[in-house]
Structure 1
Amino acid sequence: MQPTGLRTTSRIPAEKPFLKWAGGKTRYASVLVGLAPEFTGAYREPFLGSGAVFFELGPGRAVLSDANEELVVCFRVVAEDPEPVMARLDEMPNTPEHFEHVRRQRPQDLSDLDRAARVVYLNKTSFRGLWRVNCRNEFNTPYGAYDRPYYNRTTFLRAARALSGAVVRVADFEQAIDDAETGDWVYCDPPYVPLGGWADFKRYTAGQFGADDQVRLYRAMRRAANRGVFVTMTNSDTPFVHELFGGDFHILRLPTRRDINLNASARRSWDVVVTTYDPPVPAQVLVDRRAR
């Protein structure tokens, strides 16, 4: 039985992410926050991405992590001082030539400030903002030719304020979940099980996230639930996910869109929301009777 209690009350107002991450939950963040348990500990997010649920929730205590070191560096630098990041971005032209130059930069040769600006720049100028790297950890998403600003100043500053009290670190998701303590709420948004099979999956880090990692995630969630940690996970609505997670956890279905798909009809789809606790169910979320 999971512990109950009042949710952490020391919160900031809801804010917006400063990055637009492929698969990010900005559009559904309020629904996911509505599924939050009554938790008394810290909020934890082991697959950071754009941090949409974190920004919507505005928790008083948070531990944010990701295996993508560049993303973590970016969040840390923005949290510490967003002004130099914006100033650096103002110096970077949105041209195919400069994009190619930035894309080929070796992060280890850059300062943390330049690494942070590089992440924002590539996120705003690459095709559909997709962060994709090859097995050598080289960014390989093509230029997107978008005529839009790299940042909104108000959003950037508010995001920095929201992040100022959070711990942001590089960590494997399993370790991040194992570090959670009784009363914490962990929200997991892993790379999804591909709808078309594992061969369709793209890399967010140099290591592929495959079926074995989904099993690792399931086992970490079980361990966490056994010690009184609340866990929520989103994933694709596939037989693999239902078979792996449906036996022990609650599964809900959430209507979504896949904006990264060029075919408009293919964008309409379902996600599953898996919880280790009995969740409140907003109107937008339907209980999947197959998992009951």
Structure 2
Amino acid sequence: MPKDIQTLPVHPVSPPAAYIGGKRILAKAIIERINAMPHTGYAEPFVGMGGVFLRRTQKPRTEVINDKNGEVANLFRILQRHYPQFMETLKFQITSRREFQRLAACDPSTLTDLERAARFLYLQRLTFGGKVTGQSFGVDKDGGGRFNVTRLGPVLEDIHERIAGVVIEQLDWRDFLRRWDRPGMLFYLDPPYYGNEDDYGAGQFSRADFSDMAMALKGLKGSFKLSLNDRPEVREIFNGFDIEAVDCTYSVAGGAGKKVREVIISG
């Protein structure tokens, strides 16, 4: 990439599965703002299923994704480095409540990395609402089986090609910011929303992390975008940064839409 060109066009791809807080509705607004900020590197401390990362339309030379959840990091490593073997592992998997319950009860530490990735993807594809904890078998009365390898294969192949050359980390967000911060680096942060700190598992994130994050962001050499729910506490904690309100409408399983207000915080 020539030195005077900071980013190049890239074809957006779909995430591999639903994920709680996956930014399906807000992604377009976030990506428009990311594209408008000059940057020579892009990094996400809370990548989840890549709801923003994979939908971006521009990429710089340096791209880094991170998630403290080892299942997330392992899935992306497998998709990046062992895609053909992964597809072989998934070949005979079907949509089944019994199989969902069996895999949910399975200890992932007893599995190979390929098996772990297959288990995690299967559960995320089938769980209600993209939940990470307290998962239950989701039912779509008007659709087909949600784990259809014929349809899923092209999605995973697109991700495999998209994340070639992307660095994959599994760090606490603080360590991730310290390791990758530099002038020209743009961070997009998508932490658990205020009041929902345990949605991604006990001990993954705490209420105190919001204040710690505000302090860490003030000292960045690079720049950032941060998305959160619009709460008075959020506005107080991140006072001093640019805070933009965005109206969104969410629905679950075809139910009536719920209007909520979120914020995109910049610095």
Q: TM-score, normalised to structure 1's length?
A: 0.80
For 1:153 and 1:93, locate their aligned partners in 2 and report how far apart those are by CA, in whole Å: 14
Mapping 1:126-275, distance limit 5 Å: 126-132=127-133, 140-146=134-140, 147-150=145-148, 152-179=152-179, 180-194=181-195, 201-224=197-220, 227=221, 229-245=222-238, 247-260=239-252, 264=256, 267-275=258-266
Q: Percent identity?
A: 24
1:67–1:205 Cα contact (<8 Å) kept: no
Would the alpha carbon gap of residues 218 and 50 (structure 1) be closer, same or farther in structure 2, given more than 3 Å must change?
A: same
For 2:226 and 2:135, locate their aligned partners in 1 and report how far apart those are by CA, in whole Å: 27
Q: Which sections of structure 2, spanning at least 5 residues, go unmatched? A: none
Aligned pair count reads: 255
Alpha-carbon offset, residue 7 of structure 1: 6.5
Mapping 1:1-150, distance limit 5 Å: 8-36=6-34, 37-57=36-56, 58-59=58-59, 60-132=61-133, 140-146=134-140, 147-150=145-148
Instruction: String of CA shifts for 1:172-203, please: whole Å, max 9, x gaps.
Output: 11111222111100000100013xxxxx6543
Q: Which amino acid aligns with 1:231?
A: F
Residue 158 of structure 1 aligns to a residue whose secondary structure is helix
Alpha-carbon offset, residue 53 of structure 1: 1.8
Alpha-carbon offset, residue 87 of structure 1: 2.9
Alpha-carbon offset, residue 260 of structure 1: 4.7
For 1:34 and 1:27, locate their aligned partners in 2 and report how far apart those are by CA, in whole Å: 13
2:122–2:147 Cα contact (<8 Å) kept: no
Instruction: String of CA shifts for 1:63-112, please: whole Å, max 9, x gaps.
Output: 10011001100011011132332332232232221111101111111111
Alpha-carbon offset, residue 30 of structure 1: 2.7
More displaced 10-residue stretch of structure 1: 184-193 or 254-263: 254-263
Q: Which sections of structure 1, spanning at least 5 residues, go unmatched? A: 133-139, 195-199, 277-292
Would the alpha carbon gap of residues 157 and 211 (structure 1) be closer, same or farther in structure 2, given more than 3 Å must change?
A: same
For 1:67 and 1:16, locate their aligned partners in 2 and report how far apart those are by CA, in whole Å: 22
Q: TM-score, normalised to structure 2's length?
A: 0.87
Residue 252 of structure 1 aligns to a residue whose secondary structure is strand
Would the alpha carbon gap of residues 263 and 202 (structure 1) be closer, same or farther in structure 2, given more than 3 Å must change?
A: farther
Q: RMSD in angstroms over aligned alpha carbons? A: 2.2
